[in-house]
Amino acid sequence: MKSLLALVFAAGTLSAAPILYSIAGDGLGVARQLFEIDVQAQTATLVVSLGDGSHSFGGGLAATGSGVFTGIRTDSNGNADLVSYTSAGIVSPLSTLQPGLFGGLALSSGSPYWIRNDFLGDSHLETPPSATTPIGNGFTGGLAWRPEDGLFYAVANDFLGNSMLYSINSGSATSLPVIMGTAKYGGLAWDSGSGFFYVIGIDELAESTLYRFAPGDLYLTELFGLGQGFQHASLAVGQDEGVPSGVPEPGSWALMAAGAACMAAARIASRLRLHHRSIPSRLGSGSLHLEHPGDLPRRDSRIP
């Protein structure tokens, strides 16, 4: 019974649908619109437009909780800095970054890491104040950190146009078997609550679609379309470090209800067993008394 209950509630937990966040372009194509993506409701809702349009906020996004985010800001001159911003649109600079094309940002144990592609096309995994680790080239599709195995995951696109998922450990990037095709990707996030990676795919018409896949999967599962403009390597779960931020999907409510019913049945069965054990083998006195009176009301039954 205990194993059944554990399975039921684990299934309910792993079905949690997260709230995601992403950066999309505005009407002029400037990446500065913060969107909330509700996986269960299959909606993408504009939260706020960041800045006045003179800076881009693409290249990476991480949620730190309570409506606060860590991201990357760049201007038309190539200047870049790490920033904090709120869902109300308040932007605060954190540190200056080297110029480049940024391919994703994630938090590991509360510290920000990002991918920067230099002007030769080489990709680097970086963290403050100045640590940089070469990881190959073409990593422009998003970065995620999975606390369960302590690895970073990133999407790269090679010179033939093929996209691949990589795990990154101590600067070594290892390709993984999930098939991602020739689509471009606009962000990657890991959600511990659902047990899925989420990724934004961009087709040849610049239409964006949200997909998900579990570790070890060979194929992506299409969820729903987001529209255009989500190609900026920015996708984050609603809280930092993959902590679940959402509500159970409809099917999990049934599982949880079944779990509650199993618990109630287990309690009744336990009380019946206790009652049965308390009946003496000989009814010499004609009285029945429970061994643990606090479990059920004490009563006397006169035996004729």
Summarize pLDDT for 49-67 with one digit per residue, the tens: 999 999 999 999 999 999 9
Same domain, yes or no: 176 and 265: no
d(CA 148, CA 201): 25
What pLDDT is recorded for position 281? Answer: 37
* 3-class state of residue 296 by DSSP: coil
What pLDDT is recorded for position 246? Answer: 45
- What mean pLDDT, rounded, does the chain reach? 81
Same domain, yes or no: 243 and 263: no
Residue 6 in any domain: the answer is: no
d(CA 78, CA 72): 12
What are the angstrom distances between the C-alpha of 195 and each of 15, 41, 100, 272?
A: 8, 18, 32, 39
pLDDT bucket at 44, cuts 50 / 70 / 90: very high
Record the pTM: 0.76
Asked which of 248, 264, 282 is the last residue of a domain, the reply is: 248
Asked which of 233, 248, 263 is the last residue of a domain, the reply is: 248
Same domain, yes or no: 198 and 122: yes
pLDDT bucket at 298, cuts 50 / 70 / 90: very low
Residue 113 has pLDDT above 80, yes or no: yes
Residue 192 in any domain: the answer is: yes
Same domain, yes or no: 243 and 261: no
Residue 8 in any domain: the answer is: no
Tally of domains in the chain:
2
Range of the domain at 136: 17-248
What pLDDT is recorded for position 159? Answer: 85
Residue 243 has pLDDT above 90, yes or no: no
Same domain, yes or no: 267 and 187: no
Same domain, yes or no: 70 and 114: yes
Same domain, yes or no: 239 and 264: no
Residue 222 has pLDDT above 50, yes or no: yes
Question: Residue 167's closest CA among 136, 200, 121?
Answer: 136
What pLDDT is recorded for position 74? Answer: 97
Same domain, yes or no: 170 and 296: no
Same domain, yes or no: 234 and 269: no
